[in-house]
Each structure stands twice: as structure tokens, then as C-alpha cells.
Amino acid sequence: MRLLSCSALACILALPFATHADENLFGYVKGAETLPKGSMELYEIVTKRSDKGAGEYDAWDMETELEYGVTDRFNISGSIKLMSIDTSGLIIDGYLPGAEQYGPKFAGGEFAMKYNFLSPAKDDFGLSGYMSFDYGTLDPHSGKDKTTRSLDVQLLAQKYFMEGQMIWVGNIAMENTYAVRDPLAVQPTANFDWPLEPEMEIEWKFGTGLSYRFMPNWYLGAEAIYETEFETEVGQERWSLFAGPSLHYGGPSFWATLTWFDQLRGGGEKYENQYPDENNPVPQADTDLHLVEKTKDEWRLKVGFNF
Amino acid sequence: MNNRDWAALCFIPATVLVAPVFAQDYLSVAQAQHALFPKADSFVDSTITLTSEQRDRIKALAGVRQRQEKPPVWKAMQGGKLQGWLLVDEVIGKHEFITYATAISPDGTVLGVEVMSYRETHGGQVRDAAWLAHFAGKHLSDPFKLDQDVPNISGATLSCRNITDGVKRLLALHKVVLAS
């Protein structure tokens, strides 16, 4: 019902607004274009993360974002985030205390800025800088209360081919996070580790995408992101390579992008499922994936309206 | 995916069905002909079929490829004399094609440009006479660069870029095929 209501709201609000630059052809990687001065764009973004290879695991991230063109080159945006989760049958020491089900719940907000150095349509190659400050109130993996403060800095590249019929984008990102968990109300197992000291993490992301307009208004593409994260206690905590197709519709009233993101490979920390017996933990079966902080796949739906 | 997820995704195609269609046809071919050659008393259909060698030469001169093998071309005549050439062309906008007509003098100078169909909701300023006037008098040797000799329209940069490149390409077509 929560996913249905969020998407319904997004689509019912399909008033006759114009579509502009900064239309997202991809679900995850970002383009380099910015909104023209004085324009605004409203985004509804819903992401479903599913399957950790044991038990049941579904999580939904919902974000409503408003972006504004301060100048033709400089945009700002603000967003509010919600989260839902439904997990059971999985206990991961230090990461996932056990069953949790709720939603949607306030998960934080974000403020971002984007500056366009080179226009992909005018300068033959597009380049923008992007920075965001994120404040989170929930741990995206377990759904437990956790305060996070993140600074994300990105370089966004974009190039048009075939007079704009094909678009390539590339991103390099670095995110620094300071996180503090709230204590657990109930200890799931006798020796369950749930650090309450502040954690510092550095994440690097390298993304790329290619999209092709196969008929008027419709684009089909593919995107991929390699992520790696380093954390104070364990060093390289995880790495993952996700990739998948993206289908985009851009029309006079709104645009929408649907992406399926599959984890092709992953590594770093692996879990031993302590459910139902912490004395007989079951090792992670999919040894070529990272499933502690990631899932096997994700679906993302973005809908945008300009005015 | 469970039933909730599928139900949410089904809203997207449903919205596409009810979204208003925004295709805008402003000028017919006949209207474009008379707007660009008001003194012409006849237009002779001179549609050509380009060879691959001609298309390669056009791309080398213009920097962009000539997509259409059979571009619609008319001779504008007045009293039996050639006034110029009218070419109808299509370029890619953000979502759909833009149809425009370009009038070129016998010696390869742009006499005028008219946008016949513009199917994007934003960026309609490409139809304004003030913007189109920047093309009048241009030759193949001109820069044809946005914010240099042709102003950009924010939010419609791709449309501006493609129309600008298109007019230059039509001048190249004139030089390769029509001028002789």
C-alpha cells in the first residue's frame, strides 16, 4: 500500500508542466545538465531493495525532492526521505539485529547543489560538480534508529551522440559519513555486537550509463555502478558492482524512469546468519556477492514534473 | 515482486495514456514556401536522392551527418528565374523531431528559416522571428556556434544546437548537390 500510494501520488499529479533539461534518463547515475534559471522540478523516487540470500528482506526508500534553477548553471535541491522495511529470519552480528517491519517512517533529508561547468549540448562535452549534505535518522540496512551525517561530492560527465539520440554519462563520487547508532531495545542474541561508538566511513562510487532514444519520447539504456566503502574498524568493509537496464519516458507532462539494478559481483564482509540458533550460524550462501549492507537487486522508479 | 509493487508500476503506463499530446504543427509546406519566398510564383519539386559519397561530403563540411537520403527540396521560381532553394528538414529535439524549412539563395546564403513543427513543450522560443533572424545572411563558412553567432535558449539547448547544426548541414548540402 505504501509503494502504491507514493507512486499514485506521483502520477496523479501529472499536470501539464513542461519537461526541461536535467530530466533523469537513468535511475542511479546522474547527468550533467542543470535546470534553466527560475525553473523547478519535483521528483518522486521510490527504491525497493530485496533479498539478502537468507530469510526475508525487503526495504523501500521513498524520496520527494524539489530542485530549483538559481541560475542557468547553478541548481539547488532539498528532499525529504522516508523508509519502510520488512525483514525476518535473518540476524547478522553487528548489522542486522533481527525482524523489523514498519513503514513509511521519516528517514531524514538532504540538501544538494549542482554547478554546470560545461554544457553537453553546447560544448560537446558536459561536466558538472555536485555536492550534497545528508542527514539520516534510520539505518538503511536494519531499519533501526541511527543518526548519520554525510557529505557527498561528485563529478558528473555527459556526452551526446547522434545529435542527442544517444547519451552517455559518467560519475565519480566520494561520500564521507559520520554515524552513531541508538542502543537496541532488545538484545537479539546473548553476544550480539551493536557498536554505539561513532563510525566514520568513506565510500567511493564509479558509475556509467548509456541510453538510446529508440522512438519519440522513449529511451532504453543501461547503467552500472561500482562502489567500495572503507570503515574505521574493518578497513575495506565492502565492494559491489551493480548493473541493469533503464527505461525512460519523457513527455510534455512528466517524465519517468524505471531501473532494475542487479548485483553482479560483491565482496568484503560476509555474514553468518544467527537465526534461529546463534550457536549454529549459517554462512552466507552467495559468496560472490556482498549481502551484509546490500541486497541481491534493487528496483527504482523516478517520476519528475517541471514547472 | 508482489502485487503491491506491480500495482504501483501500472500507474505509469496509465498516466501515459491520459497525458495530453502536445504535437504542434505551425506551418504546412505551402505556408513555409510562401513565408520564405513571398515573391515566388511557383515552386518546383526537386527532391533529390543522395549518394553515400554525397552524404559523406556533407558530413565532412557540416560536421554532422545527413540522416535523410531523400531530403525534400523545391526550387523557388519567379518569372522563370531561380530565386533560391527551399529545403525541409528534421532534427532531433529533446523528445521528438523538429521540422523546419530553410531558404537558401543560389549562391549559398541563408535567406530565412521557419520552424514548421515543434513538438516540445518548452523552448518554443526557437520559433520566434528574433531567434530565427540570426540565421539570415549566413554562409557555410560562418561559425554556427551557440552563444557565439547564434544565441542559446536556456532549457532548449539541444533543440537550438540541432537546428543550428541543421541549417549549416543544409548549406553543405547546397554546396555539394544544388550549387552545381
Q: How confident is the model at residue A283 (pLDDT cuts 50, 70, 90)?
A: very high
d(CA A216, CA A189): 57
Quick: pLDDT tens for A181-193. 999 999 998 889 9
Place B123 in a pLDDT band, splitting at 50, 70 and 90: confident
pLDDT in tens, A172-218: 999 999 999 999 999 998 889 999 999 999 999 999 999 999 999 99
Disruptive mutation site among A4, A214, A258 for chain B (greatest number of B CBs within 10 Å): A4
d(CA B68, CA B134): 25
Block residue for cell numbers 549542482? A114
SS3 A139: coil
Q: Does B68 touch chain A (CB under 8 A)?
A: no
From the list A18, A216, A299, the residue facing B97 with the nearest CB is A216
Q: How far apart are CA B12 and CA A60, in angstroms?
A: 18
Give the pLDDT mean for A234-252. 94
What does the pLDDT read at residue B120? 76
In degrees rounded to 5, what are phi and psi of residue A72? -65, -25
pLDDT category of residue B121 using cuts at 50, 70 and 90: low
Average pLDDT, integer, range A12-27: 59
- For B15, the closest of A14, A16, A250 (CB atoms) is A14
Least Cα separation, residue A153 to chain B (angstroms) = 25
For residue range A115-168, list pLDDT tens digits in order.
Answer: 999 999 999 899 999 999 999 999 999 999 999 999 999 999 999 999 999 999
Determine which of A253, A298, A301 to mutate to test the interface with B (most B C-beta atoms within 10 Å): A253
Say whether A164 and B14 touch across the interface (CB within 8 A).
no
Q: Which residue on chain B is closest to A247 by alpha carbon?
A: B12
Q: Contact A301/B9, CB-based, under 8 Å?
A: yes
Q: Which of A256, A211, A264, A272 is CA-nearest to residue A239? A: A264
**DSSP state letter for A15:** -
State which of A32-41, A233-242, A292-301 shows the largest mean pLDDT.
A292-301
Give Rg (Cα) of chain B. Answer: 19
Set of cell numbers at residue B18: 491520459
Is residue B12 scored above 50 in pLDDT? no
Contact A301 B12 (CB under 8 A): yes
Among the partner residues B16, B96, B122, nearest to A20 by beta-carbon distance:
B122
Which of A35, A202, A44, A74 minimizes the C-alpha distance to B15? A44
CB half-sphere exposure, A5, CA atoms < 13 A: 5
Tell me the average pLDDT across A75-95: 97
Query: Tell me, what's the pLDDT at A233?
Result: 79
CB of B155 within 8 Å of a chain A CB? The answer is yes
Contact at 8 Å (CB) between A62 and A6?
A: yes
Instruction: Provide the CB-side half-sphere exposure for B37 (13 A, CA).
Output: 27
Contact between chains at A18 and B18 (C-beta distance less than 8 A): no
Instruction: Say whether pLDDT at A2 is over 80.
Output: no
Q: Under a CB-based contact definition with an 8 Å cutoff, are residues A259 and A300 in contact?
A: yes
Write the pLDDT tens digit of every residue in B18-76: 343 445 788 999 999 999 999 999 999 999 999 999 999 999 999 999 999 999 999 99
Contacts of A106 (CB under 8 A, 6+ apart): A80, A81, A82, A137
User: What cell numbers appear for B122 in the block?
Assistant: 518548452
Eight-state DSSP code of residue A21:
T
Chain A: residue nearest B93 by CA?
A164
Which of B8, B94, B96 is opposite residue A7, by nearest beta carbon? B8
Q: Given CB atoms, is B91 within the 8 Å cutoff of chain A?
A: yes
Contacts of A6 in chain B (CB under 8 A): 8
So what's the ipTM on this one?
Answer: 0.84
Which pLDDT value is given to residue B1?
55
Taking CA atoms, what residue in A is nearest to B7? A4
Report the gap between the CA of B37 and the closest CA in chain A (Å). Answer: 29
Beta strand A126-138 with A282-283 is unpaired
Phi first, then psi: give them for residue A98, nearest 5 degrees. 145, -155
Average pLDDT over every residue of A41-67: 97
Q: Which pLDDT value is given to residue A21?
A: 59
Q: Which residues of B touch A164 (CB under 8 A)?
A: 92, 94, 158, 161-162
Domain architecture of chain A: domains with CATH: 2-296 (2.40.128)
Query: Average pLDDT, stretch B111-127?
Result: 87
Q: At A24, which amino acid appears?
A: N
| CA distance, residue A187 to nearest chain B CA (Å) | 31
Chain A CB within 8 Å of residue B95 CB? yes
Best mutation target among B1, B2, B16 (most A Cβ atoms within 10 Å) is B16
Report, as an integer, the average pLDDT of B122-145. 93
Contact A234, B2 (CB under 8 A): no
Kindly state the percentage of chain A with pLDDT values over 70.
Answer: 93
Among A19, A72, A250, beta carbon nearest to B154: A72
Neighboring chain A residues of B155 at a CB cutoff of 8 Å: 20-21, 35-36, 39
Residue B17 has pLDDT above 80, yes or no: no
Tell me, yes or no, if B4 comes closer than 8 A to chain A by beta carbon: yes
Chain A residues touching B147 at Cβ < 8 A: 122
Nearest CB to A18; choose among B7, B9, B121:
B121
Determine whether the interchain pair A216/B95 forms a contact, defined as Cβ–Cβ distance below 8 Å. yes
Q: How far apart are the first and last CA of chain B?
A: 64
Instruction: Find the angle CA(A260)-CA(A264)-CA(A270) to the nearest 5 degrees.
Output: 115
Q: Which of A84-88, A293-297, B89-93 has the lowest mean pLDDT?
A: B89-93
